Amino acid sequence: MPALDEVACTGPWRHRHPGEKAVLAFGLLGCAVALPPWPGAAVVGVVAAALLLGPAGLGPRRLLRAARGPMVFVVVGALPLLFSLGGPALVRLDPAGVGAALALAGRATAALLCLLLFAATTPLADTLPRLHRLGVPPAVVDVAGLVYRMLFLLLDRIAAVRAAQAGRLGFRSSHTAIRSVAGQAGAVFVSAFDRARRMEQGLALRAEPGALRVQLPAQRLSRRFLAGTAVLLAAVVTVSVLA
């Protein structure tokens, strides 16, 4: 199981209602988008990071591991704003783009931390069944759930194939490593295609799309948690506007 899913399933907020965590995470996300980049995005980012490292129990290493991939896209998206086209040189550094690049990177980083706050505290198995109440088509929810389950099966299959290839010295040189990776991709594709076909046949024999139902645990929204969230969001807005 990936580290983020493991934390979501075993973390301190595992048994809280998903609506509470959605109000907190997406409320902060709205603040990151609506408030000025400075100091709004910085305040939101600090608050989201503090919640992740504190009450959510993610930990610094897991936070860095979960954020390093998306942060690559943030950096790649902000770098072009530092350059401009035209003039004596075809491409030149634009001093006016520094502010825009920092603003984009700040907003994107704060938004990323807000999304990680929801993902690291709310398992997808708790979220998908409740999407019916929000008007999401049942077929879309079922497809999303099946794709989510297939990811774990594919990860297990990849690990098994890689272990078998390593046991046969499939990575002893660059040439054998390339051949092993190609064979691994082919084996995983065939396995995934066959499993998806069997799953489709099984679902077609059981029920119509959207007929799958799961039993959800009895959970109530905590008024104290929602009140604390409202106070926190109000404090973030106040500090960002008055600073």
At 234 the pLDDT is 93
| Lowest mean pLDDT across 102-111, 118-127, 163-172, 218-227 | 163-172
The domain spans of the chain are 3-122+217-242, 136-206
pLDDT band at 125 (very low <50, low <70, confident <90, very high): confident
242, pLDDT greater than 80:
yes
Structure tokens at 46: 């600090």
As a whole number of angstroms, the distance between CA 152 and CA 158 comes to 10
pLDDT for position 92: 73
Question: What's residue 199's pLDDT?
Answer: 75
Does this model's pTM top 0.85? no
Whole-number pLDDT of residue 84: 77
pLDDT in tens, 14-51: 888 888 899 999 999 999 988 888 888 899 999 999 99
Which of the four pLDDT bands, split at 50, 70 and 90, describes residue 186?
A: confident
Tell me what the mean pLDDT of segment 138-149 comes to: 77
Nearest CA to 109 out of 161, 38, 61 is that of 38
pLDDT for 2 = 65
For residue 63, the one-letter residue type is L
Q: Which of 35, 174, 4, 29 is nearest to 110 (CA)?
A: 29
What percentage of residues in the chain have a pLDDT greater than 90? 18
pLDDT band at 212; cut points 50, 70, 90: low
For 61-100, the pLDDT digits (tens) are: 888 888 888 899 988 888 888 887 766 767 777 777 788 8
Dihedral pair phi/psi, residue 55, rounded to 5°: -60, -35
